[in-house]
Amino acid sequence: MRLRCAPFAVLAACLTGCGGPAGGVRVEGPALTAIPWSGPAYMTDWYGRAWQHPTEVDPVGRIVLSRLTWRDWGSPQARATGEATDETCLSGCPGGHPPSFRVTVLLSDLVKRGGVAFYGHMRLIPLHPPAPSWTEGRDDTDLDVPST
């Protein structure tokens, strides 16, 4: 009888020793971070075309961005400096020329679609505030992101 109970006693001893220290598992070291995006990233223009770090683009149909120099393209927030121009002359085009101003462009809300990603939001920040009135409603806007 004693030999029959021995395996059960060993099994019970093993199972009670598997719980680890009282109070649960202790975790050390830095937390894991999200894996940064490494595929191609795009922004769409007013016409639905996709661009990678464009030097000139019409993102909202009324304002053309030009002379763009990008930093951090493909990261969660891409940044560029350049010029915003009132191509539709909503301002009345004083002097017969479309007005423009120096701007910082911030792209954010990177959305992954298969093996590529698209920026879903754009913000224009004037280098010398305030921004002209013709940018109102177009200076902080969502960009089109393909659905699939």
What's the confidence (pLDDT) of residue 143?
96
Q: Which of 33, 57, 37 is nearest to 47 (CA)?
A: 57
Q: Which two tokens stand for residue 67?
A: 């002379």
Contact 120, 141 (CB under 8 A): no
Assess if residue 21 is contained within a domain.
no
Neighbours of 39 (CB within 10 A): 11
Assess if residue 59 is contained within a domain.
yes
What residue numbers bound the domain in which 117 lies?
Answer: 39-142
Residue 96 and residue 86: Cα distance in Å, rounded?
12
Looking only at the bridges linking them, the beta strands covering 116-126 and 100-113 are: antiparallel
What's the confidence (pLDDT) of residue 11?
52
Assess if residue 73 is contained within a domain.
yes
What's the confidence (pLDDT) of residue 96?
87
Assess if residue 56 is contained within a domain.
yes
pLDDT tens column, 62-114 = 899 999 999 999 999 999 999 999 988 888 888 888 999 999 999 999 999 98
